[in-house]
């Protein structure tokens, strides 16, 4: 014969609980913030031993589900250990679904561990969790512990090679992630850390910026790197607001911020970012004119720098450099070594455009070439620039 455990004083406690909580079985979801439900939480927190077990046996299914919805929040600061004990005494798919659903709005809270305490009461708990939510119980627990649950879940989808929003959303739905929950909304944002070019281009510039502004530093960096990887330069041009945002963090090439941000990153990706900056600077300084269009052809071969004091623009190639002025004026080409030694610091530090123009005009000994913006200047400038590139 199998012995059946029956808590001592059960009948008496059941009667007392029923008398105190006559309508507890009638509570609905919209009453979870009511004084009545608050009293239940306090009551559970005060119960001990047989009384707590008796309560767990007596609680109605509706109250149990409501308690499961409540547990990850625990706004009334009840005894989570005792609330979990009540839930663990009555494990069911409904309880787990309620816990998992509520946890999604509280996933950054340590209360999420309630889920694992309850699921572990199941025989074959790992399989049960996998069946219900298409997730590894152990790996999710580890992700929650490390505070990276959002990255873990989004990477599950990306690891399947999924890069479109519809398929991404469908995978989250299979995991029973509610798209309107706090976690669901965060995962919607994280989609743009690994999506296709077409998905970026569906967004208006301000919409993408709104998403970027909601991301952590690490997530924001992953989005930028993916954006650079999947998009062509011509695709990036409408998103200069995104570039302006990132420049506040990355700085420009040559700064310690830039070096630190892109340390270890594929040089091809870094070069594309520099090219994007170059084209933005050329258009920002010259406007959408003949000069910006001309020099944009070389944006992937140089580094553009603006010098506000002298209203000048320099373009540094591998073996030579070019000096232009914001206002029309002559174009100068220099050997890079001499440019770095003598010219750059004057472009940067002289106090006016006039001073730089005068210095360049009288320093004929180092001038490599000078072209004025007249007639067919682009032909001469292209010919000479290409000639120098062929030598490098």
Q: Write down the mean pLDDT value for the chain.
A: 88
Lowest mean pLDDT among 25-29, 120-124, 249-253: 25-29
Contact 313, 278 (CB under 8 A): no
- Phi, psi at residue 48, to the nearest 5°? -135, 150
pLDDT grade, residue 367 (50/70/90)? Answer: low
pLDDT score, position 356:
94
Round to the nearest angstrom and report the end-to-end CA distance of the chain.
93
Q: Which is more confidently placed, 17 or 169?
A: 169
Judged against a pLDDT cut of 90, whether residue 362 lies above it is answered with no
322-340 per-position pLDDT tens digit? 999 998 888 999 999 999 9
Q: Which is more confidently placed, 287 or 375?
A: 287
pLDDT grade, residue 23 (50/70/90)? Answer: very low
Residue of 287, 273, 211 lying closest to 243 (CA atoms): 273
Integer CA distances (angstroms), 267 to 118, 180, 193, in order: 49, 39, 19
Global confidence as pTM? 0.85
pLDDT score, position 16:
53
Judged against a pLDDT cut of 60, whether residue 4 lies above it is answered with no
pLDDT score, position 291:
93
CA dihedral 241, 247, 250, 253 (to 10 degrees): 120
pLDDT score, position 375:
76
174-205 per-position pLDDT tens digit? 999 999 999 999 999 999 999 999 999 999 99
Integer CA distances (angstroms), 147 to 90, 244, 387, in order: 29, 30, 55
């Amino acid at each position: 014969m199998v012995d059946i455990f029956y808590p001592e004083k059960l009948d008496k406690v059941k009667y007392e609980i029923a008398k105190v909580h006559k309508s507890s079985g009638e509570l609905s979801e919209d009453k979870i913030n009511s004084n009545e439900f608050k009293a239940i939480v306090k009551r559970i927190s005060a119960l001990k031993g047989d009384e707590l077990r008796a309560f767990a046996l007596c609680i109605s299914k509706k109250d149990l589900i409501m308690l499961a919805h409540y547990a990850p929040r625990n706004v009334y600061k009840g005894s989570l250990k005792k609330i979990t004990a009540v839930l663990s005494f009555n494990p069911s798919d409904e309880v787990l679904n309620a816990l998992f659903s509520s946890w999604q709005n509280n996933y950054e809270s340590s209360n999420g561990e309630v889920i694992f305490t309850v699921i572990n009461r199941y025989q074959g708990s790992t399989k049960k969790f996998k069946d219900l939510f298409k997730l590894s119980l152990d790996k999710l627990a580890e992700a929650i512990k490390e505070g990276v649950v959002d990255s873990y879940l989004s990477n599950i989808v990306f690891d399947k090679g999924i890069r479109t929003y519809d398929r991404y959303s469908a995978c989250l739905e299979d995991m029973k992630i509610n798209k309107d929950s706090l976690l669901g909304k965060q995962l919607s944002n994280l989609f743009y850390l690994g999506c296709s070019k077409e998905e970026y281009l569906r967004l208006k510039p301000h919409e993408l910026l709104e998403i970027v502004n909601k991301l952590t530093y690490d997530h924001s960096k992953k989005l930028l790197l993916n954006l650079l990887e999947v998009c062509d330069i011509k695709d990036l041009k409408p998103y200069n607001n995104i570039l302006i945002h990132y420049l506040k963090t990355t700085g420009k090439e040559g700064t310690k911020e830039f070096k630190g941000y892109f340390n270890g990153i594929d040089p091809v990706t870094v070069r594309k970012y520099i090219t994007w900056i170059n084209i933005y600077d050329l258009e920002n300084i010259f406007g959408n004119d003949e000069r910006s269009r001309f020099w944009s052809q070389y944006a992937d071969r140089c580094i553009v720098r603006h010098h506000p004091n002298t209203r000048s623009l320099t373009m540094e190639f591998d073996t030579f450099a070019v000096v232009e002025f914001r206002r029309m004026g002559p174009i100068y080409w220099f050997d890079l070594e001499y440019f770095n030694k003598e010219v750059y610091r004057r472009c940067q530090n002289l106090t006016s455009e006039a001073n730089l123009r005068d210095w360049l005009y009288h320093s004929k000994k180092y001038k490599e070439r000078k072209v004025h913006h007249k007639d067919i200047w682009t032909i001469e400038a292209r010919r000479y620039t290409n000639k120098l590139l062929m030598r490098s």
